[in-house]
Amino acid sequence: MEKNTLTKLENTFEEDVYKGLTSYPKKLSSKYFYDEKGDKIFQQIMEMPEYYLTNAEYEIIDTYTPALAEIFKDEEKGFDLIELGAGDGKKTKILLQYLTKNNYKFSYLPIDISKHALLDLKTTLKKEFPQLEVVPKQGTYLDVLHELNEFKHRKKVIMMLGSNIGNMVHENAISFMQGIQKSMHKQDLLFMGFDQKKHPKKIIKAYSDKTGITEAFNKNILVRINNELDANFNPDKFIQWESYNPETGTAKSFLVATEPQTVFIRKMNLHVDFDAWETIHTEISQKYDLKTIDWIAGQVNLKIVNQYTDAQQLFKNFLFAI
């Protein structure tokens, strides 16, 4: 019998794992970090002092919520607030609280790849804002892009907080934003966060903390493969490594095999060989400057309406229109 006689791939996760681990160099998508355990680890990451992104954007939302509410509003018909990658909604709740308290007419549509995050968010929102209309949807960004065009009967505000756009190389970011642009009408807005270029050491520290929380987050994808595909990865035989190129603004995360090993993924009948110090590329975290954002906006026929930043100018949120 051949070493690998591939069984039928049943879902996108299996397809992506197979393609990623049989390619060279090996790669796995960071979107698979997120399951119930991964969600909890990411909550810990957002509380780390090294992970500046959350607090910086929280400051932006907290500072500019009244101004944003006035820009978002439509007094006659109201508006749909559609958030891509809603997560736990910590920052968004600042805006939701202000909008509900001041009787703005709107509905909130959180979208996330993690069903656990959406269930938790829906539960907390029901307690905190019982009158708020919440319509959660599970799926990837690509899953929902084609559905955005259905929201055309009143103004929609598409919101993407955090560094989610940074998980895409420029080519994919342009394609993704083009998809959003095609769903937008004259009155619609896009509010999106972009992590900024800064001292390389600060970026490296944000993704390679000494406590090992970020490493556990990266390794959770191996745990998922073990649990869901009946594999025998030993996460202790991998280390997490972060690199940053200040010229391109690209931070990359890797899992690095510390010794030669063969992993068997039983559900796919797949053996995966690793040499010592061979890598699995797990994540990209792109950092931006104004010139790059302006260039991307031009590529997708969006105009920058305004930009908002924190006191230290670590992070920026941009408001786009067509």
**Which residues have C-beta within 8 Å of that of residue 1, sequence separation ≥ 6?**
none
- Output the pLDDT for position 3: 60
**Which residue type is seen at 169?**
V
HSE-CB of 37 using CA atoms within 13 angstroms: 14
Q: Which residues of the chain have pLDDT under 70?
A: 1-7
- Output the pLDDT for position 160: 96
Task: Domains for the chain: give ranges and CATH numbers.
Answer: 12-33+201-286 (no CATH), 52-196+288-321 (3.40.50.150)
Q: Which two tokens stand for residue 233?
A: 């990865």
- Output the pLDDT for position 189: 97
d(CA 110, CA 259): 42
- Output the pLDDT for position 21: 98
Cβ–Cβ contacts within 10 Å for residue 146, how many? 11
- Output the pLDDT for position 62: 97
pLDDT tens-digit series, residues 225-264: 999 999 999 999 999 999 999 999 999 999 999 999 999 9
Three-state SS string over 92-157 comes to: HHHHHHHHHHCCCCEEEEEEECCHHHHHHHHHHHHHHCCCCCECCEECCHHHHHHHHCCCCCCEEE
DSSP string, 193-205: EEEBP--HHHHHH
d(CA 301, CA 315): 23
Q: How far is CA 253 from its chain centroid?
A: 15
d(CA 283, CA 252): 6
Q: How far is CA 276 from its chain centroid?
A: 31
- Output the pLDDT for position 4: 65
